[in-house]
Each structure stands twice: as structure tokens, then as C-alpha cells.
Amino acid sequence: MPPAEEVRRRSHSDYIFGKVLGEGSFSTVYLAKDVHTSKEHAIKVVEKAHVIREKKTESVMREKEVLRILGNSCPYFVRLYWTFQDTDRLYFVLSYAKNGDVLGQIEKHGRLSIDCTRYYLAELILGLEHLHSKNIIHRDLKPENLLFDENWHILITDFGSAKILTSENGHNNESSTIDVPEKEYPYKRRNSFVGTAQFVSPEMLTETHSSYASDLWALGCIAFQMASGHMPFTGGSEYLIFQKILKLEYTFPEDFPREIKALVEKLIVLEPQKRLGTSDERKYSSIRQHPFFTVLNWDDLGPPPKISEDCNQTPSQEIPDHLEPGLDEEKASRLHLDLLSPSPIITRKKSPPNRKITDLTDAEIQERLEAQKSNIYHSFVEDNLILKQGFIDKKKGLFARRRMFLLTLGPHLYYVDPVTMTLKGEIPWSRDIKTEAKNFKTFFVYTPNRKYYLEDPEGYALEWCKAIDDLKNYYYPDET
């Protein structure tokens, strides 16, 4: 890490900001170039007011602290180069993961090859050995949080849920700095982090302590997903997923590679202390010695196996040189607009005219569900029938983020980032949900805790309100 006074001297004017790389729940990540070194970075910009409003200060500070502890000590982690702030925002200058994430590659190829699965699990294990030796538990490991650097090595990221243990016996002495009792942890995240439930270990659901073994459970789930393309625990709701996890209810697909199966079965184990690696004196010698890894030289993994045919293409220069350094409101808005247009894969679908959900027979629902499997957004809706979908600009703070909204039976109202193809969340349903159309484009959805500002770029705000109201009347008929 650079000396503290140097950190203070940096500001956003030391960087030329290019495109938006992605958005988190309370951050926007930009590709940026250091004007002094020409090095490309990912800069995570966090709006202070939003973080405070969403009570996420603890998580942001924890992420910064973990990145600070890790520094430059291990190649398998995203590195924090600088942090600075201005009145409204915090800036984290990070290593730029040029090649996306593991989830993207699994989705692109259906699954990873055995060689890639072995290699990237090995990098992850080396990363975990290091992380755990620093007394840190990640607690949110999943393929989406394993990024790829320009040479196709993994960079573990997202330490907002991490836990820093401060004593050798593994007990957490930092209770004053964590605002969520362990027991509530997975439940607290119910509405904002739908995707993560699948990787939560059983002890995080039932006990007051998580441990390093919780990351080993996630390692097993990741191995399963890399090799098969599917997560071991899925279900129509987080509750159902948690039930399956607690009962260890999962099955291997028939063509699941045998040598990985034996490893997964030793990691996805209900009792944390029985998971492979937990009783190692030297972490994680028993995992290293597992027959699946026999062909590897752990002291030098060598270059990564080719993950895809096009992985050797050099990415083109992405930040035009003529841009001025710095990030003011106008520039930030423009970069967001660049992200929003041209709109990718627009498949706006209206619900069939004059067809109410109540009019659909079970057979029709099944038929439509079958047809829906070819819809690229089907994988986000937990097998619920999509009644209406379309792009909506979801306003948050100063910015609008374009999302694919999916109104489904259940009821659910999911929204997906169409650029990164990740589920960003869902508007929570209850009998108290209300809509209000302000004009043809703008409409609001009110939930007990929040007002959502939404804008339909095609001007069908009224239709959205009606569809949501119809669904509400269907599920809560006496609430009108």
C-alpha cells in the first residue's frame, strides 16, 4: 500500500474515467486510467448518502479494511491501490479485472472443462489459504465474486460480508464493529442479495458462529457449479433453498465428473468440522492432496488452461485519450447514459391483451412456462411464469440504471442488469404494494419501506401499473 500521505494526495482528477463496468447495490464501478502511469483500474465509487441511508457503512468499511490487510500480499485477490473521498463519495482504486468473472464463463460455456475447474479451484484454494492465514473469512464466495485478470488468473473480490477474526481461537472479538448478529445474517440480506442464498453454509443459518469452514462449504458449491454449470442448492424461494441446505438435499447430474464428485462430497458436509481441510494443521494440505489435484504442482500451477477459443484476444484500448480527467456529476451522468444506449437485446414483451392471470388455466401456465425456457431471462425467475417483461430505468440517487424488469407469478418483480446479466434484486411483494403512474413514462411502486422511481423508456408506465395491480388483486383479492 502506498504511504498514507500519498493516499490523501490522490483525487478523482488523477484518473480519466471511461465506461461503467458495473453497478453494485450502493456503488458504481468505472474503468479508469491513471494519468500518471497510464495503468487501467476499476474505480468503485460509493455515494456516501446512499450508504448511510441503506445502513451499509459497516460493510463498506469492512471491505476497505480487508483489502488493506491483504494489500499486495497475494496475487489471487483484487488489490486496493488507493482510496480517497470528496464531500459526496468514496473512491476505491482497484485492480481492473479485464476478463469478467467465473460465472460469466460458466454461463458462456455451460460449464468449465475439468482442467479449468481443477486449475481455478486450485487458485481459489491458494487464495483461501492466504485469506484464512490472515484470520479473515470471506463468507460470500461464489463464481460471481471470482474475477479474471488480464492473464486469466482469478481475483477474489467483494469483502463486504467478510469477517475479521481477531484472536487465534477463532472467536470474533469485533462485535462492536459488526451490526448484524450472525444468526440474522442470511435473513437480513433476503431482498437485496437473492443470488447468494445458494452458497450459504448450514451453520450460518443455524448457529451463532461462522468459521473458515463456511468458506470451504462455498468452495464445494463452487466446484459443483464449475463442473456442472448448476448450483447444488436451488429453489423457488430463499426459504426453500435454506431448507434444502439444512437437509443436504442436492443431487449430482448423471454426467458429473467422478473425480470432482469425490471432492465435492467431502466439502459439502453439514458439520463444519468434518469438511475436508478443517482439521489440517497446515491449511489446506488435505485438500491439496485430494486425488483430484494429483496432477497439479502446487508450488507452480503454471499458466491457466485455455478457458475458451477467444481468450487470447487482446482486449482493445477502452479509454479514449482525449477525455479530461476527473468525475463530476455531468461526466458521471454521461457515462451512465453511454451504458444505457445502445440498448442491448431488447425483447420487450407485452402481456397478451385482455388476458388476466385469473383467465389462465393450469395447462396454459405449464405451456407458457415450457416456451419461456428459451427466454434468456428465464434463469432469473426461479421457474415462475413471466407475465410481463421490459426495460425500465430504475432511478437511484442521481442516476438511472436500466434494468430488465420481470413480473412473474409468485408474485415477484425481479430486475436484472442486462449488461452483466446478473440479477440485481426484486421489489418485495406484500399486500401493501401500491403503484402510481405519474405520466406515460414515469411511475412509482410503493412498498412499506421504499418508494421506487421507475421510468419506462417506451412510455408504457400505465400498462406496468395495471399489470402490477392485476397481480396484486389476484394474490390479495380483498385489498382493493
Q: Which residues are catalytic?
A: 140
312 phi and psi angles, rounded to 5 deg: -90, -5
- Which residue's CB is nearer to ligand ATP, number 42 or number 467? 42
Contacts (CB under 6 A) with ligand ATP, residues 398-457: 420
Does 27 interact with ligand ATP (rule: CB under 6 A)? yes
42: contact with ligand ATP by CB under 6 A: yes
Residue 413 to residue 431: CA distance in whole angstroms: 14
Tell me the C-alpha distance between 242 and 391, whole Å.
Answer: 31
Instruction: Decide if residue 339 touches ligand ATP (CB under 6 A).
Output: no
Report CA 358 to chain centroid distance, whole Å.
35
23 vs 382, beta carbon nearer ligand ATP: 23
Minimal distance in Å, beta carbon 339 to ligand ATP? 11
Q: Which three cell numbers stand for residue 3?
A: 504511504
Binding mask 93-132 for ligand ATP (x = CB under 6 A): -xxxx-----------------------------------
Task: Identify the residue among 10, 12, 33, 44 touching ligand ATP (CB under 6 A).
Answer: 44
Shortest CB 290 distance to ligand ATP, Å = 30
Q: Which of 12, 16, 17, 23 binds ligand ATP (CB under 6 A)?
A: 23
C-alpha cell at 222: 463452487
In the bound state with ligand ATP, the residue whose beta carbon lies nearer, of 147 and 454, is 147
Q: How far is the CB of 155 from ligand ATP (least distance, A)?
A: 7
CA distance 377 to 389: 9
Q: Does 21 bind ligand ATP (CB under 6 A)?
A: yes
User: Is the dihedral angle over the CA atoms 424, 429, 433, 437 positive or is it negative?
Assistant: positive
Please state the closest distance from residue 6 (CB atom) to ligand ATP, in A: 21
- Of 20 and 112, which has the nearer Cβ to ligand ATP? 20
Taking the CA atoms of the chain, what radius of gyration do you get in angstroms? 23
Query: Angle CA(463)–CA(453)–CA(387) in degrees, nearest 5?
Result: 35
Q: Are 164 and 69 in contact (CB under 8 A)?
A: yes
For ligand ATP, which residue has the nearest CB? Answer: 24
Q: How many chain residues are in contact with ligand ATP, going by CB under 6 A?
A: 18
158 binding ligand ATP? (CB under 6 A): yes
Q: Is 22 in the site for ligand ATP (CB under 6 A)?
A: yes
How many residues make up the chain in this entry?
480
For residue 384, report the phi and psi dihedrals to the nearest 5 degrees: -90, 150
Is position 25 an interface residue for ligand ATP (rule: CB under 6 A)? yes
* C-alpha–C-alpha distance, residues 119 and 102, integer Å: 12
Neighbours of 69 (CB within 10 A): 17
Distance CA(398)–CA(43), nearest Å, equals 18
Q: Which residues bind ligand ATP (CB under 6 A)?
A: 21-25, 27, 29, 42, 44, 78, 94-97, 147, 157-158, 420
